[in-house]
């Protein structure tokens, strides 16, 4: 059943898209390359770091320190932009188009120091100090842990490595969810974020029309009777527990932590018998938001709820024909979104 899930999930979650992949060559030599190889393939400098989270996960963190354009003085201190990928993808999503249409390369060429994280469970973050990756314990995580451990570890590392106290954060899809959670619950990390750029933001999924979410919701009862199953498998680069967490939020206008299934287990994790609500109103980071009105996952109605809770909104744009994946693969994504991000960083918008 999960194999079926794996094959279909990518298509189902994103639905049909505006122009995705259309301009790609039929054979992509970089299809079988890892992240460093793709970055080098296009002639950009790449750096790769293994960082360790507080709970022992080893994550692959990638950097494009400067671009092919604007690289005449490499000792100049460049502003840091951190990119956080979404559900079922990895840092590859920022570099998988031609350089002229990939946010990772565009930002490097615009003069920024680009860092790309990988959440636990993705191909590039599937190691642990002492847990085996085929153990239940390894896969017992959802986006709660990505927000509580992975993102803080990545940001702390970048701040130490670059000496820059403040960075820009770009999230797509679940990458925005993680940001909303971390920045509303960990003020010390939130202080590091100069601007949060949220692409296709997901906070609640009450109105989501994503077939993947609906399918996960229907499977919930099946999964629940077999705890060992959901803890030990990974559909397409995330844990079953992560999908189950999303299914728990189906039809709700609130974002809550993962319900571990019993008052005792919840108490062990949260010091209370029910899973706690996340309150994004507590986040005071300057936030710029782009969403698509044809987005099946980040439904415009859910985005409306989110917008009403964002305390420090500096920009919002809704693009009528954009679906979830167009923020990565849309033909005109540079003009609709990416150049606006750069304009905002430069203070021009």
Ligand X SMILES: *[C@@H]1O[C@H](CO)[C@@H](O)[C@H](O)[C@H]1NC(C)=O
The yes or no reply on residue 71 touching ligand X (CB under 6 A) is: no
Q: Site for ligand X (CB under 6 A): which residue of 32, 73, 100, 320?
A: 73
The yes or no reply on residue 75 touching ligand X (CB under 6 A) is: yes
Residue with tokens 């847990």: 131
Q: Which is nearer to ligand X, 253 or 318 (CB)?
A: 253
Q: Which is nearer to ligand X, 124 or 139 (CB)?
A: 124
Residues 115-174 that bind ligand X (CB under 6 A): 124
Q: Which is nearer to ligand X, 16 or 37 (CB)?
A: 37
Alpha carbon distances (Å) from 75 to 30, 65, 66, 123: 30, 11, 10, 32
Q: Site for ligand X (CB under 6 A): which residue of 2, 15, 30, 36?
A: 36
Q: Site for ligand X (CB under 6 A): which residue of 1, 11, 76, 222?
A: 76
Q: Which is nearer to ligand X, 214 or 339 (CB)?
A: 214
The yes or no reply on residue 284 touching ligand X (CB under 6 A) is: yes
Q: Which is nearer to ligand X, 2 or 270 (CB)?
A: 270
| Distance of closest approach, residue 334 Cβ to ligand X, in angstroms | 28
| Distance of closest approach, residue 17 Cβ to ligand X, in angstroms | 26
Residues 298-327 that bind ligand X (CB under 6 A): 312
**In terms of C-beta density within 10 A (0-12 exposed, 13-18 middle, 19 or more buried), how is residue 162 classed?**
middle
Stretch that binds ligand X, among 4-12, 70-78, 87-95, 229-237 (CB under 6 A): 70-78
Q: Site for ligand X (CB under 6 A): which residue of 26, 100, 225, 271?
A: 271
| Site string (204-243) toward ligand X, x via CB under 6 A | ----------------------------------------
| Distance of closest approach, residue 47 Cβ to ligand X, in angstroms | 12
Residue of 131, 123, 116 whose CA lies nearest to 56: 131
| Distance of closest approach, residue 263 Cβ to ligand X, in angstroms | 14
Residues annotated as catalytic (active site), given as ranges: 173, 295, 324
Q: Which is nearer to ligand X, 124 or 258 (CB)?
A: 124
Q: Are 296 and 323 spatial neighbours (Cβ–Cβ below 8 Å)?
A: yes
Q: Which residues here bind ligand X, judged by CB under 6 A?
A: 34, 36-37, 60, 73, 75-76, 124, 251, 271, 279, 281-282, 284, 312
């Amino acid at each position: 059943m999960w194999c079926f899930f794996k094959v279909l999930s990518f298509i189902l979650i994103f639905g049909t898209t505006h122009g995705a992949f259309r301009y790609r060559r039929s054979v992509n030599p970089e299809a079988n390359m890892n992240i460093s190889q793709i970055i080098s393939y296009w002639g950009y400098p790449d750096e790769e770091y293994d960082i360790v989270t507080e709970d022992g996960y080893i994550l692959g963190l990638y950097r494009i320190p400067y671009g092919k354009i604007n690289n005449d003085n490499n000792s100049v201190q460049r502003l840091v932009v951190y990119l956080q990928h979404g559900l079922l993808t990895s840092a590859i999503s920022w570099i998988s188009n031609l350089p002229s249409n990939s946010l990772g390369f565009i930002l490097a060429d615009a003069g920024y120091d680009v860092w790309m994280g990988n959440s636990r469970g993705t191909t590039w973050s599937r190691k642990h100090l002492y847990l085996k990756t085929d153990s239940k314990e390894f896969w017992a995580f959802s986006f709660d842990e990505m927000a509580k451990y992975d993102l803080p570890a990545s940001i702390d590392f970048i701040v130490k490595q670059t000496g820059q106290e403040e960075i820009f954060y770009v999230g797509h899809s679940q990458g925005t969810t993680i940001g909303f959670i971390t920045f509303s619950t960990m003020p010390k990390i939130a202080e590091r974020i100069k601007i949060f750029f949220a692409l296709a933001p997901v906070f609640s999924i009450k109105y989501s029309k994503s077939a993947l979410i609906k399918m996960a919701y229907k499977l919930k009862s099946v999964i629940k009777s077999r705890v060992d199953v959901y803890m030990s498998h990974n559909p397409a680069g995330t844990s079953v527990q992560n999908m189950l967490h999303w299914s728990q939020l189906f039809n709700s206008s609130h974002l809550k932590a993962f319900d571990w299934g019993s008052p005792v287990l919840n108490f062990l994790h949260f010091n209370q018998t029910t899973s706690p609500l996340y309150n994004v109103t507590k986040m005071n980071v300057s936030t710029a938001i782009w969403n698509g009105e044809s987005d099946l996952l980040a439904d415009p109605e859910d985005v409306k709820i989110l917008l009403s809770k964002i305390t420090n909104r500096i920009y919002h744009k809704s693009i009528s024909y954009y679906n979830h994946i167009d923020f990565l693969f849309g033909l005109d994504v540079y003009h609709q979104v990416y150049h606006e991000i750069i304009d905002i960083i430069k203070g021009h918008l």
